[in-house]
């Protein structure tokens, strides 16, 4: 029997509540599909900061490095710790474990309402592959003459050949795989999310690497769209997209908008992958910790359960992953269980239990 060691970081705000539902599902599929899961819980986050003056112990990466995966709730509570401090936990893991692919599927389950008219379960089925270790998030820069009239700040994006080409390779392989499987509305296309008309070094470089990488995948169609135009197309014709490859910042922005096509943040999950499995990958809902809802049991756990599904895919437990997907689809299209964000009154736990029950009853 395979047994997986999973580090759990519930984090802040609603993190614990949604993580709990995810873990119940994880245990259940392990039983059902005959593998083992051993979890270890780490209470890092903003409360930890208030006690210890840091979001996590200095040796966090050493502690985590031998796990098979990291399962994260959410991080941040601006009332306690400024966001750019608290979120360093997240960014440290992404970079420290070279999780250079941030994989964010944008898919709409049947039965879910969205504010976008064009968003249907047929038209919304694509994936954003976001660079996750460099680019605009490199944290290179500084301040000049702070607190004087002449003050300025510099923020430098760093775009390396290695960093750009590997994430683009991943995107092309994914498009090829989706084409083979016939997944999605548009098949076998990688869209390059650019802004080279204005960002005359970083994005000109990015485009050039994109052209070079794409030459290796003649079976995959490509196009290039500016990040500003992509936000329009998401809303106007989401069926255009199959796989989008984007820089760290652009990937961040367009996947939040993408969540609107999925019915909201309650449905959007993400995987921070080190595809070579040299280091553990990390799985998380992409929503924030919503401190004001913490402890109320009203957050939608579907995004977190989706991230468990992605974790199982990464670990190679494909049947378990499929079973979760099926159970989510069944509960959502049933339309009976609705959390607050869906306009209903069911609790985090009730949604979790409904999916769990359906999963156990399924075959």
Ligand X SMILES: CC(C)[C@H](C(=O)O)[C@@H](O)C(=O)O
Least distance in angstroms from the C-beta of 352 to a second copy: 24
Per CB under 6 A, does 211 bind ligand X? Answer: no
Give 119-125 contacts, CB < 8 A, sequence gap 24+. Answer: 119/238, 119/260, 119/261, 119/262, 122/185, 122/239, 123/185, 123/237, 123/238, 123/239, 124/238, 124/239, 124/261, 124/262, 125/183, 125/184, 125/185
The contact mask relative to ligand X for 242-281 (x = CB under 6 A, - = no) is: ----------x-----------------------------
CA 75 – CA 15 distance, rounded (Å)? 7
Q: Cβ(133)–Cβ(146) under 8 Å? A: no
CA 215 – CA 78 distance, rounded (Å)? 45
* Beta carbon nearer to a second copy, 154 or 361: 154
CA 19 – CA 311 distance, rounded (Å)? 13
CA 277 – CA 280 distance, rounded (Å)? 6
Least distance in angstroms from the C-beta of 68 to a second copy: 28
Least distance in angstroms from the C-beta of 165 to a second copy: 9
Strands 269-273 and 281-285, bridge-based pairing: antiparallel
Residues 26, 282, 239: CA angle, nearest 5 degrees: 90
| Binds ligand X by CB under 6 A, chosen from 60, 193, 286, 299 | 286
Per CB under 8 A, does 199 bind a second copy? Answer: yes
| Binds a second copy by CB under 8 A, chosen from 34, 36, 57, 141 | 141
* Beta carbon nearer to a second copy, 106 or 320: 106
Residues 291-330 close enough to bind a second copy by CB under 8 A: none
Q: Cβ(289)–Cβ(74) under 8 Å? A: yes
* Beta carbon nearer to a second copy, 252 or 325: 252
* Beta carbon nearer to ligand X, 75 or 332: 75
Least distance in angstroms from the C-beta of 264 to a second copy: 8
CA 71 – CA 352 distance, rounded (Å)? 17
Per CB under 6 A, does 200 bind ligand X? Answer: no
> Out of ligand X, a second copy, none, which partner does residue 200 contact, by CB within 5 to 8 A per kind?
a second copy
| Binds a second copy by CB under 8 A, chosen from 43, 83, 211, 336 | 83
Nearest Cα to 163, choosing from 128, 200, 198, 130?
Answer: 130
Per CB under 6 A, does 197 bind ligand X? Answer: yes
Strands annotated E in 212-259 = 221-226, 243-246
Residues 137-156 close enough to bind ligand X by CB under 6 A: none
* Beta carbon nearer to ligand X, 31 or 228: 228
Nearest Cα to 194, choosing from 218, 159, 219, 220?
Answer: 159
| Binds ligand X by CB under 6 A, chosen from 87, 158, 257, 260 | 87
> Out of ligand X, a second copy, none, which partner does residue 294 contact, by CB within 5 to 8 A per kind?
none
In sign, the C-alpha dihedral spanning 183, 185, 188, 189 is negative
| Binds ligand X by CB under 6 A, chosen from 43, 177, 211, 228 | 228
If binding means CB under 6 A, how many residues of this protein chain bind ligand X?
7
Chain positions contacting a second copy, by CB under 8 A: 76, 83-84, 87, 91, 115-118, 136-137, 139, 141-143, 148-162, 195-206, 227-229, 231-232, 235-236, 249, 252-257, 259-260, 264-265
Chain positions contacting ligand X, by CB under 6 A: 87, 90, 197-198, 228, 252, 286
């Amino acid at each position: 029997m395979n047994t997986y060691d999973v580090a759990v970081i519930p984090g802040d705000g609603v993190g614990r509540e949604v993580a709990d539902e995810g873990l119940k599902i994880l245990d259940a599929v392990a039983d059902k599909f005959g593998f083992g899961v051993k979890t270890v819980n780490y209470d890092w986050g903003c409360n930890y900061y208030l006690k210890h003056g840091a979001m996590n112990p200095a040796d966090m990466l050493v502690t985590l490095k031998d796990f098979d995966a990291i399962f994260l709730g959410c991080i941040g509570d601006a009332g306690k710790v400024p966001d750019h401090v608290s979120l360093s936990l997240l960014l440290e893991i992404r970079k420290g474990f070279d999780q250079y692919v941030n994989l964010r599927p944008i898919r709409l389950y049947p039965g879910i309402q969205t504010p976008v008219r064009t968003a249907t379960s047929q038209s919304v089925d694509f994936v954003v592959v976001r660079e996750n270790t460099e680019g605009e998030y490199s944290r290179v820069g500084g301040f000049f003459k702070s607190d004087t009239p002449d003050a300025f700040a510099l923020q430098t994006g760093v775009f390396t050949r290695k960093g750009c080409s590997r994430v683009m390779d991943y995107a092309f392989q994914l498009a090829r795989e989706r084409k083979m499987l016939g997944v999605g509305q548009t098949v076998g296309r990688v869209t390059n999310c650019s802004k080279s008309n204005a960002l005359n070094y970083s994005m000109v470089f990015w485009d050039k690497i994109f052209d070079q990488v794409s030459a290796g995948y003649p079976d995959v169609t490509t196009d290039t769209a500016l990040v500003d135009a992509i936000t329009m197309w998401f809303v106007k014709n989401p069926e255009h997209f199959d796989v989008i490859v984007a820089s760290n910042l652009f990937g961040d922005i367009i996947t939040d908008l993408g969540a609107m096509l999925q019915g909201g943040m309650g449905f959007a999950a993400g995987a921070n992958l080190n595809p070579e499995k040299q280091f553990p990958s990390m799985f998380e809902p992409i929503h924030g910790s919503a401190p004001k809802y913490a402890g109320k049991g009203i957050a939608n756990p579907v995004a977190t359960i989706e991230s468990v599904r992605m974790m199982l895919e990464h670990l190679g437990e494909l049947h378990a992953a499929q079973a979760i997907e099926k159970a989510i689809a069944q509960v959502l299209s049933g339309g009976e269980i609705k959390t607050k964000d869906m306009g209903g009154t069911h609790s985090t736990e009730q949604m979790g239990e409904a999916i769990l029950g359906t999963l156990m009853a399924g075959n």
